[in-house]
Structure 1
């Protein structure tokens, strides 16, 4: 009980309550409260409970126990502390709290999932029939480049550039430069290949060397659907 007067003074300052107001709240005479604050003597247990209830503090703390002063929630604690600051310091608390709220309310940017119309599959191996396919709208998680149509790769002959089932984007074209990746109609089937034209002639080349080249000559019909956008 030796700390009672100091704890009472601290609680009254924290709550910004004067002796007269505490007297009205508790029904205890102002003279008794003044004597407690001066340390002349301590309050009896029944008075301690009245004071603790009026000040909204823990009665055990009020008599010197090593426990929290109040059972207030964090918002209440923040309000009570801020309420004791001068105007300039309250402005700083407000600015800091506002910044914290902005950070909390920031919307997490979820990568946009686009949809693209895929016109069937093109082979990276043995050939696919793509002509006259109806487009299928599928989800595509990534940036969609400007393109004329999209297709799905089927097979592994163009690894490591393209994976099996990868969606690729195409610009329509009937011509290509040597070295470009093209979508070609070769003997009635659609392929994705590298177009090569050199001293050995023209051919469609797989990047995966386990697949043979497709020669372009009078023995085969070949036309281009377009050039793959890389």
Structure 2
């Protein structure tokens, strides 16, 4: 491929101006400048004129010349050495590029037996076990749990991990992990005179209410959520 940069470097090395070269070739300076800028390339006739003017081979202006020309002068043994070197150099480059693209993953311990339902509720277990999942972002949190169901869509989705702090009720309308009559949920919560109104984002789900007679408590407030990254 024709290289305008090689042409420019050679012209400057021989202390010629663009106007000097254009005059010899019988073209205007702007046309010649477009070759050096890579906006156009000379036809075969002008390429041969350039080669004669600069006393080089016509192939000198190809971008591959600096590699191909010396290679062709090597004997068979040295050609093999050159090929091996280039192959090893390329492998090292690919390995370095691959390494630079590796995204660090952070482990999150998720309550495995307390799936917080974004739906109709799951049993709240006293005995807790954990499952390790991974995310490409580091979080600060008190505990984490999986989300199940679609009642909190389009903000929280089934299969995501919700992250919580355990400071209790903060303000109306925040999203909390709650325990209601032995079932765990993730819902928006509003305090009312007779108890708590429990609301989904998805309008297909009716509001719930926790009164004085219900076994209700705030487990934690949602401070983040993410879709786990599969470890490779």
> With structure 2 as the length reference, what TM-score do the two structures score?
0.52
RCO comparison, higher one (Cα < 8 Å, 6+): 2
Other-structure match for 1:187: 181
Other-structure match for 1:94: none
Q: Does 1:115 align with 2:99?
A: no
> With structure 1 as the length reference, what TM-score do the two structures score?
0.52
Secondary structure class of the residue paired with 1:228: strand
Over 3 Å counting, the alpha-carbon distance change for 1:219 and 1:108 in structure 2 is same
**Alpha-carbon distance between aligned partners in 2 of 1:117 and 1:150, rounded to the nearest angstrom:** 7
Other-structure match for 2:211: 217
Note the C-alpha offset of 1:104: 5.6
Over 3 Å counting, the alpha-carbon distance change for 1:135 and 1:116 in structure 2 is farther
Note the C-alpha offset of 1:112: 1.8
The correspondence of residues 58-73 of structure 1 with structure 2, limited to 5 A, is 70=72, 72=74
Over 3 Å counting, the alpha-carbon distance change for 1:189 and 1:213 in structure 2 is same
Over 3 Å counting, the alpha-carbon distance change for 1:114 and 1:68 in structure 2 is closer
Other-structure match for 2:191: 197
Over 3 Å counting, the alpha-carbon distance change for 1:115 and 1:69 in structure 2 is closer
After superposition, what is the alpha-carbon deviation per residue over 1:23-58, rounded to whole angstroms, capped at 9, x for unaligned? xxxxxxxxxxxxxxxxxxxxxxxxxxxxxxxxxxxx
Q: Does 1:140 align with 2:134?
A: yes
Note the C-alpha offset of 1:196: 1.8
Query: Which of the pair has more CA radius of gyration?
Result: 1
Over 3 Å counting, the alpha-carbon distance change for 1:221 and 1:150 in structure 2 is same
**Alpha-carbon distance between aligned partners in 2 of 1:124 and 1:187, rounded to the nearest angstrom:** 16
Aligned length: 144
Q: Note the residue ranges of structure 1 that are not aligned, 5 or more in a row.
A: 1-66, 78-100
Secondary structure class of the residue paired with 1:107: helix
8 Å CA contact retained: 1:118, 1:137: yes
Over 3 Å counting, the alpha-carbon distance change for 1:200 and 1:209 in structure 2 is farther
Note the C-alpha offset of 1:142: 2.4
Q: Note the residue ranges of structure 2 that are not aligned, 5 or more in a row.
A: 1-68, 80-92, 225-232
The correspondence of residues 1-230 of structure 1 with structure 2, limited to 5 A, is 70=72, 72=74, 107-119=99-111, 120-197=114-191, 202-230=196-224
**Alpha-carbon distance between aligned partners in 1 of 2:164 and 2:194, rounded to the nearest angstrom:** 27
Other-structure match for 2:23: none
State the Cα RMSD in Å: 3.6
**Alpha-carbon distance between aligned partners in 1 of 2:170 and 2:151, rounded to the nearest angstrom:** 20
Note the C-alpha offset of 1:133: 3.8
